[in-house]
Amino acid sequence: MNFSMNKYRFALEPYKGKLSRYHCPKCNDKVKTFTQYIDFETGKPLHLNVGYCNRVDKCGYHYPPKDYFKDNKILIDYSQKLTSRPPKSKFDSVKRDISYISSAKFLASLQKYEENNFVQYLNTLFGVEVTNDLIIKYRIGTSKQWYGATIFWQIDVKDKIRTGKIMQYDSKTGKRIKTPFNKICWVHKLLKNKEFELGQCLFGEHLLIDKLKNVVIVESEKTAVIASEIFKDDIWLATGGKNNWNIEKFKVLKNRNVLLIPDLNGFKEWNIKKNELSKIANVSIFDYIEINATEEDKKHGLDLADFLIKELKK
């Protein structure tokens, strides 16, 4: 039987039903980390095992539709390209302006730090005075989404608020809370505004108003905040994830001196991306962690913050 791509269009997004995550067929992690490919015509998953595991470094399971079709001898008309997006509407050709979060919503989050787990953890590392300085510097907020949750606001170099990343941390360990589910969401999603046009920027981008300092880019917002107190001569920014690269958001780094410090297991990908970024800025990459990490460190995918915290606690 021959199927046309008009019928099968898939997206790397969860099934829009009661459950959006499933147990990975490979690692069968206790937390539901598996995302299925969707048939946009029916709105249902293609198959239970066709999808990808979000535990990229520790599992890496990915069974795409094309492999499923091949394994099951299903013929596809490739004259119409497989897409990772739903069919375009007549409005898609119109580029819309980026939306912003209101100052009122941002200002309302700048309180209740005694309930903010991440802030309380920073207090154990640096004390109240330094922690307050870090809150002001990175404009860290508190969210009502979960008790003690943190908002890492994405504020661009023009001081406009693009969105906020809400995350839950353990106040004693400083680790992200991932059970019974991964506690992470976005302010713009909670607004439930269908017209909101997201345009992410680097976390800490507003600090680039200082034109003299060199720039260091890490993966996590937590790492950027902690490292900025230890290495004060540089501007520390975060991508928000290993794969959260978009050349548009890096244009703000034009002609800057930039050092990349990926988490463990992310060096290879970032080293490739470095070539792309080198067209904009003077870029180098730091491989000390990758070279000196133990097998146990690599197994847990540690980042710079983990190493710095070890030194602070000695």
Number of compact structural domains in the chain: 3
Residues 114 and 179 in one domain: yes
Residue 41 has pLDDT above 70, yes or no: no
- 114-127 pLDDT, tens digit each: 999 999 999 999 99
Residues 195 and 216 in one domain: no
Strands of 5-133, DSSP E = 34-36, 38-39, 44-45, 51-53, 62-63, 75-77
Residue 143 has pLDDT above 50, yes or no: yes
Backbone angles phi, psi at 55, to 5 degrees: -85, 70
Q: End of a domain among 40, 69, 94?
A: 94
CA–CA separation, 29 and 22 (whole Å): 9
Residues 69 and 136 in one domain: no
22 vs 201, residue with greater confidence:
201
CA–CA separation, 311 and 260 (whole Å): 21
- 263-286 pLDDT, tens digit each: 887 888 899 889 989 999 999 999
Residues 44 and 104 in one domain: no
- 104-116 pLDDT, tens digit each: 999 999 999 999 9
Residues 57 and 133 in one domain: no
Handedness of CA 34, 163, 133, 218 (dihedral sign): positive
Among 223, 233, 226, 228, smallest CA distance to 312 is for 226
What is the average pLDDT score of the chain? 83
Q: How confident is the model at residue 31 (pLDDT cuts 50, 70, 90)?
A: low
Residues 247 and 149 in one domain: no
Among 1, 9, 2, 4, smallest CA distance to 65 is for 9
145 vs 78, residue with greater confidence:
145
Query: Are the CB atoms for 176 and 221 separated by under 8 Å?
Result: no
Residues 42 and 79 in one domain: yes
CATH number of the domain to which 230 belongs: 3.40.1360
Residues 101 and 80 in one domain: no
- 151-174 pLDDT, tens digit each: 999 999 999 999 999 999 999 999
Q: How confident is the model at residue 81 (pLDDT cuts 50, 70, 90)?
A: very low
Residue 293 has pLDDT above 90, yes or no: no
So what's the pLDDT on residue 55? Answer: 72
So what's the pLDDT on residue 217? Answer: 96
Q: State percent of the chain over pLDDT 70.
A: 83
Determine what percent of the chain falls in helix, strand and coil, rounding each to the nearest 5.
30, 20, 50
Residue 241 has pLDDT above 90, yes or no: no
Residue 95: Cβ within 10 Å count:
7
Q: How confident is the model at residue 23 (pLDDT cuts 50, 70, 90)?
A: confident
Once rounded to an integer, what is the mean pLDDT over residues 236-243?
91
Residues 79 and 164 in one domain: no
So what's the pLDDT on residue 96? Answer: 77
Length of the chain, in residues? 314
Among 122, 149, 132, smallest CA distance to 223 is for 122
Quickly list H helices, the chain.
Answer: 65-71, 103-108, 117-126, 128-138, 187-190, 221-230, 247-250, 267-277, 288-292, 295-299, 304-312
Q: End of a domain among 94, 124, 139?
A: 94
207 vs 72, residue with greater confidence:
207
Residues 187 and 250 in one domain: no
Residues 100 and 89 in one domain: no
Parent domain of 191: 95-201
> In this predicted structure, which of 62-71, 145-154, 181-190, 231-240 has the lowest mean pLDDT?
62-71
Q: End of a domain among 94, 124, 157?
A: 94
Residues 23 and 110 in one domain: no
Residue 9 has pLDDT above 50, yes or no: no
